[in-house]
Chain A
Amino acid sequence: MIYYTRVFLLSAKVQLLEVTASLFMLFNALLQPFFIAVTAIYMLRNQPGFEPVYVVVGAGLSGLFAVTLFTGSNAASRERYQGNLELLEASPAPLMVIMGGKMGANMVLALTSMVVTYVVGAGLFQYPITPDQPISFTVSLLMALFSLWAMGMVFAPLSILWPPVEQFLGGLEYPVFILCGFLFPVALLPGWFLPFSYALPPYWAARALQGSSLGTLQFGDIVLAWLILLATSGVLLVMAAILFRIFLRLARRKGTLGFV
């Protein structure tokens, strides 16, 4: 266990050093949420019932999800491109633990998107951005990060076998923003969309974060969202473990661990 923890933490450190030098990732974590927050505030601020906290949290979530999607789906491709995927797989450390550490570092980077959107709302537009239930909000944020990390762990093994998968997964970015109610309540969507929303962990992350920041949800409802996040994250991690196992074996048969 200590060995796995050390591998996880050092992999996270290595990834943090690598990813903070990537302009594309910095765009996803810093600039994209900035533009989304500014645009959404301009669009919505004269609407009745406008809640700046809702926009700030939603725009922050969009940055969190964008980083999860892109870093998760190119996790293996990036290592492969650098010639490191074979070295990592050939080491005694399980690749899932290594990738887990790297995705953990990506979530730390992603968290900066929340800071950016807070600065936009509180600093640039001078809105009072204070969560109604600070403790619930903090727990919700941690749960959201854990859940998105688990989601990234499902994306990570896909590119071990199919390097172009990141291009296809990139197309999920805006549909998820909409389906999960990051910037507009899902109640605005046709009813038949809702089952898709409920099946996505980011929907529950958005619900818990927005409910605790606006005070529109009872504590019991927030706890329910946390439990669903925990349960779906557990399912995602089991799926990730299975995918890593199957895809690594297939990649070793096809020879796709090296440069392809």
Chain B
Amino acid sequence: MEGGMSAIELEMVRHVFRVTTGTIRRRSKEIVALDAISLQIEEGELFGLLGPNGAGKTTAVKILTTLLIPTAGRVTVLGHDAVKDAAFLRSQVGFVLGGERGLYYRLSGRDNLRYFAELYGIEPKKIHSRIEAMLELVGLGDRAEERVAGYSRGMKQRLHIARTLLHEPKVLFLDEPTLGLDPVGARDLREIIKRLQSEGKTILLTTHYMFEADALCQRIAILNEGRIVAQGTPQELKELVSDLSVVELEVFGAEPKHLDRLRALDFVDSVAIESHELRQVLRVQTTLGDRAVPGLLASLDDLDVGRVSVREATLEDAYVHLVGGAE
């Protein structure tokens, strides 16, 4: 990498998917997955890419890992063009795409690693020691001989991490690596990510979990509908909503009309809803703090309202503020 250059650079990157439907009357439409995004990630940085489903996070990761050619724009990783120098970059980067797929289930964990070690051209005499080191890193040493089909989701995810580290990549792309893991599995994986960053790896992490991004990432970009809507350190993003408070109302039987009523109030900035079986929690961002509560309750007079609390805005609230409760 040339001196002074970022480890990862995206310059006005745009990607459009063309989707066709119908058998006889073929109709096609274009979906803009990324709309002229630009960002720079420095060497050794752990950078978070946040956004709701369909925001373009995975598209960005696939472009950066050479799996997708952008419709327009320029992408460089370690100073190399991700389209023209794809063959070179493949040995320099590693990636984990979230989920349980991407492994050979009929092979053991160790055999999966051995196969990918060969594909990445690791010297035969080093393969054994690299596999052992990676199995130890992810804590799968004692289960390595078992078929992957019998692994838990967390074990599969840890095996993905081991696979992607085999060839000692300089840059890592982790696409929602903790998605679907139990709390202990997710915590262990976050510890591994922290450790990798302390070893000097450049890491791009996409996640849905704000606390995860807050705890791990030095800088964050928030992506919504293919565009970067905010970028900065977690603290800088929180400051975007420093004048806002969040009123949380526990309600029963809220319908879309109730949300619309709240959104129509002039002191309400945004409203998000979280459902828990019979009850829902409405999170209302407002500049009025606890003075907003009477007005909010008046708008929900036909609902059963339980606990009401007022708190300071967090990174998650900043995210909701920026993406408008799109999830």
**Residues of chain B within 8 A of A17, CB atoms compared:** 104, 106-107
Structural contact, B116 and A91, CB atoms closer than 8 A: yes
Count of B interface residues, CB-CB < 8 Å: 32
Closest chain B residue to A82 by CB distance? Answer: B101
**Measured between C-beta atoms, what is the minimum distance from B157 to chain A in Å?**
13
Asked if B24 CB lies within 8 Å of chain A CBs, one says: no
Also in contact, A91 and B106, with CB within 8 A (given A83-B99, A86-B67): no
When distances are taken between beta carbons in the complex, the residues of chain A under 8 Å from B91 are 92
Chain B nearest CB, measured from A247 CB (Å): 13
Q: Are A91 and B90 in contact (CB under 8 A)?
A: yes
Contacts of B124 in A (CB 8 A): 6
Decide if A7 touches B18 in the complex (CB within 8 Å). no
B293 at the A interface (CB under 8 A): no
In the bound assembly, the distance between CA atoms of A21 and B104 in angstroms comes to 12
A90 in contact with B67 given A6-B124, A7-B118 (CB within 8 Å): yes
Interface flag for A258 (CB, 8 Å):
yes
Q: Is A44 part of the binding interface, using a Cβ–Cβ cutoff of 8 Å?
A: no
Q: Which residues of A contact B209 (CB under 8 A)?
A: none
Instruction: List CB contacts (< 8 Å) of A6-25 with chain B.
Output: 6-7, 10-11, 14, 17-18, 21
Asked if B298 CB lies within 8 Å of chain A CBs, one says: no
A10 touching B99 by the CB < 8 A rule?
no
In chain B between 158 and 194, which residues have their CB closer than 8 angstroms to a CB of chain A? 163
A7 CB contacts on chain B under 8 angstroms: 118-119
Contact A98 B119 (CB under 8 A): yes
Q: Which of B18, B65, B90, B118 has the most CB of A within 10 A?
A: B118
Residues from chain A with a CB closer than 8 A to the CB of B118 are 6-7, 10, 93
A135 within 8 A of B: no
Q: Does B278 contact A (CB under 8 A)?
A: no
Assuming the contacts A17-B106, A17-B107, A253-B69, asked whether A86 and B97 have C-beta atoms less than 8 A apart, the reply is: yes
Cross-chain contact B68 with A88 (CB below 8 angstroms): no
* Complex CA distance for A253 and B69, rounded to whole angstroms: 5
Tell me the total A-B contact number using a CB cutoff of 8 A. 81
Taking a contact as CB atoms under 8 Å apart, the answer to whether A93 and B106 are in contact is: no
Q: Which residues of chain A from 161 to 214 have any CB-CB distance to chain B below 8 Å in the complex?
A: none
Within 8 A of B (CB), among A211-255: 249, 252-255
Residues of A close to B211: CB separation below 8 A: none
Q: Contact: A92 with B17, CB < 8 Å? A: no
Q: How far is the CA of A185 from the CA of B119 in the complex (A)?
A: 45
**CA A258 to CA B90, docked complex, whole Å:** 17
Closest CB of chain A to B171's CB: distance in Å?
13
Pairwise interchain contact A87-B102, C-beta atoms closer than 8 A: yes
Q: Are B104 and A84 in contact (CB under 8 A)?
A: yes
Cα A253 to Cα B33 in complex, Å, equals 13
Contacts of B67 in A (CB 8 A): 86, 89-90, 252, 257-258
Which B residues lie within 8 Å of A10 (CB)? 114-115, 118
Interface code B92-130, partner A: CB below 8 Å = 1, 0 otherwise?
000101010111111100010011101111001000000
Q: Do B69 and A249 touch across chains, with their CB atoms under 8 A apart?
A: yes
Contact A92 B102 (CB under 8 A): no
Residue of B nearest to A2 (CB): B124
Q: Who on chain A is nearest to B71 by CB?
A: A253
* A92: chain B residues within 8 A (beta carbon): 87, 90-91, 119-121
Interfacial chain A residues near B105, Cβ < 8 Å: 82
The reply to whether B119 and A252 form a contact with Cβ atoms under 8 Å apart is no
Q: Mark A86-115, 1 if CB is under 8 A from B, else 0.
A: 111111110000100000000000000000
CB <8 Å contact, A83 and B101: yes
Q: How far is the CB of B204 from chain A (nearest CB, A)?
A: 15
- Pair B104/A82 contact, Cβ less than 8 Å: yes
Asked whether any CB of chain A lies closer than 8 Å to the CB of B66, the reply is yes
- Does B62 touch A at the CB level, under 8 Å? yes
Q: A6-B118, A86-B67 are in contact. Are A258 and B102 (CB under 8 A)?
A: no
A90 and B69 within 8 A (CB): no
The answer to whether B120 and A91 have CB atoms under 8 Å apart is yes
- A252 CA to B124 CA in the complex, in Å? 31
Q: Is the CB of A93 within 8 A of B121?
A: yes
Q: Known contacts being A3-B121, A6-B124, is A90 close to B107, with CB within 8 Å? A: no
Q: Which residues of A contact B (CB under 8 A)?
A: 3, 6-7, 10-11, 14, 17-18, 21, 82-84, 86-93, 98, 249, 252-255, 257-259
B positions within 8 Å CB-CB of A: 17-18, 59, 62, 65-69, 87, 90-91, 95, 97, 99, 101-107, 111, 114-116, 118-121, 124, 163
Given A87-B116, A91-B116, 12 extra CB contacts under 8 A: A14-B111, A21-B106, A86-B67, A89-B67, A90-B66, A92-B90, A93-B118, A93-B121, A98-B119, A253-B69, A257-B67, A259-B101
Q: Nearest 4 A-B pairs (CB), nearest first? A: A83-B101, A83-B102, A91-B119, A93-B119
What are 12 pairs between A and B in contact, CB < 8 Å? Answer: A6-B124, A7-B118, A7-B119, A17-B104, A82-B101, A82-B102, A83-B103, A84-B101, A92-B90, A93-B118, A93-B119, A255-B59
